[in-house]
Amino acid sequence: MTPNETSSTHLLDLLAERHDQIRRVSERAWNDQHDIYLSNSEWYVLARIYNKKPTIAEVTRGIHVSRQATHKLIKNLQTKGLVSVTDHPTSRKDKCIELTELGVICYEQNEALKAKLEQNIANALGEDAFKQLQKLLQSDWKL
């Protein structure tokens, strides 16, 4: 997306357009190199459970989608062999979710692809502008 291709000059629209563009580029980078297709929502779930063993309810609260949508995402990830669901050790109604070995491998490979994309962005913007952008995005916007 070049500056002339943006459809708005409003900050929120610009952020949304760039976010959408980056997510599409990131998703395409993975899907072009691997047989396991994953949506952005599925990646978001994997990120929430990497190196953890949360309950499904905790994942649902963390990703801000409906309980039904979360269950569907988890079922899809389970079918692909990326997550396993187990009974909670102390609660009969809760289930825990964790990455399988394949899930960990896929997640870590995707993190490497994202690091490469970040480096491409840093090269395009220049290192100083990239660091300033990171700093601005990490700052407290008092929202």
pLDDT tens sequence for the chain (143 residues): 555 565 678 999 999 999 999 999 999 999 999 999 998 899 999 999 999 999 999 999 888 888 899 999 999 999 999 999 999 888 888 899 999 999 999 999 999 999 999 999 999 999 999 999 999 999 999 99
| Helical spans, DSSP H, in 8-100 | 11-33, 40-49, 56-63, 67-79
pTM, two decimal places? 0.84
Specify the CATH architecture of the domain 9-138. Orthogonal Bundle (1.10)
Collapsed DSSP state (helix, strand, coil) of residue 36: coil
